[in-house]
Amino acid sequence: MLGVEPGELGALIRPDSKEGAHFRDTMEGGFTGGDEYQKHFLPRDYLATYYSFDGSPSPEAEMLKFNLECLHKTFGPGGLQGDTLIDIGSGPTIYQVLAACESFQDITLSDFTDRNREELEKWLKKEPGAYDWTPVVKFACELEGNSGQWEEKEEKLRATVKRVLKCDVHLGNPLAPAVLPPADCVLTLLAMECACCSLDAYCAALCNLASLLKPGGHLVTTVTLRLSSYMVGKREFSCVALEKEEVEQAVLDAGFDIEQLLQSPQSYSVTNAANNGVCFIVARKKPGP
């Protein structure tokens, strides 16, 4: 998660659901804040729903493959490279930086909730009970033509991730109080639409992400389109439902030139939007004045 502004989570819960009724009981003045994500977003429920990559076909597995393939093409040979990459809204996942760890020297992971950051630290430190990403790492290695080197890939990623920070995309510096040098790349996958209650909030958050980048640096993002809710265990959280054209314009308005835009009909089985699809974008930050 990326942080939820006061009032946003009220918009992120479908009022006609049982979970919505529960949250209404806990709300003060008709809205609540990001503390509810802190309390109720459970990483293992999220991972079990969206990242069980056991070889059986499912919309969730196809979505993961789509993102891994896009990221391989983006960060593979001849693709984006540099010194520093910041992943915003990592959640409890590491798949999104498996390709980038080959082309960047210093990677920052970040998330709003303590539990998600703790889940990341467990895997990075190889602690007992850490989530098993082996099937996903093996698939990423197959894309690179190194299917037998998945253990080396895991160690490379652990060595390249230098820090795990708290983030809130609604702050001018989303990583505050930490201050990092401007990065070569900012990555954010399937997260911004979950943190923003409106198109205006989404546009403002993109401008905040742009502030983390060097002029000429790149934004790489995947956004689920027309999605208004998603499930984490038995809890339902909602998102801002965005159209492709709205995402595209928001990226341009945040000071980027779009270098690649790929729309796919991939969608999740546990969302309330039929044929919502996703949009994968690579954009370059314009030079300053």
pLDDT one-digit tens code per residue, 32-56: 346 778 888 999 999 999 998 887 8
Instruction: Name the least confident of 108-122, 154-168, 229-243, 264-278.
Output: 264-278
* pLDDT (0 to 100) of residue 16: 41
* pLDDT (0 to 100) of residue 20: 38
- Per-residue pLDDT band for 136 (boundaries 50, 70, 90) equals very high
Instruction: Kindly tell me if the per-residue pLDDT of 28 is higher than 50.
Output: no
* pLDDT (0 to 100) of residue 22: 38
Instruction: Kindly tell me if the per-residue pLDDT of 187 is higher than 80.
Output: yes
Decide which of 10 and 66 is more confident: 66
Other beta carbons less than 10 A from residue 31's beta carbon? 15
Instruction: Kindly tell me if the per-residue pLDDT of 135 is higher than 70.
Output: yes
- Phi, psi of 215, rounded to the nearest 5 degrees: -55, 130
* pLDDT (0 to 100) of residue 158: 98
Other beta carbons less than 10 A from residue 125's beta carbon? 9
* Residue % of the chain over a pLDDT of 90: 68
Name the nearest CA neighbour of 255 among 209, 220, 222: 209
Tokens 């076909």 sit on residue: 57
Instruction: Kindly tell me if the per-residue pLDDT of 282 is higher than 50.
Output: yes
Decide which of 218 and 31 is more confident: 218
How many whole angstroms separate alpha carbon 76 and alpha carbon 17?
A: 43
Token readout for 241 is 């439902």
* pLDDT (0 to 100) of residue 149: 93
Binding residues for S-adenosyl-L-methionine: 46, 51, 89-90, 95, 111, 116, 168-169
The mean pLDDT of 204-214, rounded to a whole number, is: 98
- Per-residue pLDDT band for 9 (boundaries 50, 70, 90) equals very low
Tokens 């939820």 sit on residue: 4
Please name the residues in contact with 146: beta carbons below 8 A apart, sequence gap of 6 or more: 152, 153
Q: How high is the mean pLDDT of the chain?
A: 86
User: What is the torsional sign of CA 89, 93, 95, 99?
Assistant: positive
How many whole angstroms separate alpha carbon 152 and alpha carbon 282?
A: 28
Instruction: Kindly tell me if the per-residue pLDDT of 180 is higher than 60.
Output: yes
Classify burial at 219, counting beta carbons within 10 Å of its beta carbon; exposed 0-12, middle 13-18, buried 19 or more: buried
Burial readout 185-208 (b: 16 or more C-beta within 10 A, e: otherwise): bbbbbbbbbbbbbebebbbbbbeb
Binding residues: 46, 51, 89-90, 95, 111, 116, 168-169
Decide which of 5 and 193 is more confident: 193
Instruction: Kindly tell me if the per-residue pLDDT of 162 is higher than 90.
Output: yes
How many whole angstroms separate alpha carbon 90 and alpha carbon 112?
A: 9
How many whole angstroms separate alpha carbon 9 and alpha carbon 27?
A: 10
98 torsion bin: left (phi>0), alpha (psi -120 to 50), beta (else) = alpha
* pLDDT (0 to 100) of residue 3: 59
Decide which of 183 and 3 is more confident: 183
Q: Could you say which DSSP state residue 238 is in?
A: E
Note whether 34 and 3 are within 8 A (CB).
yes
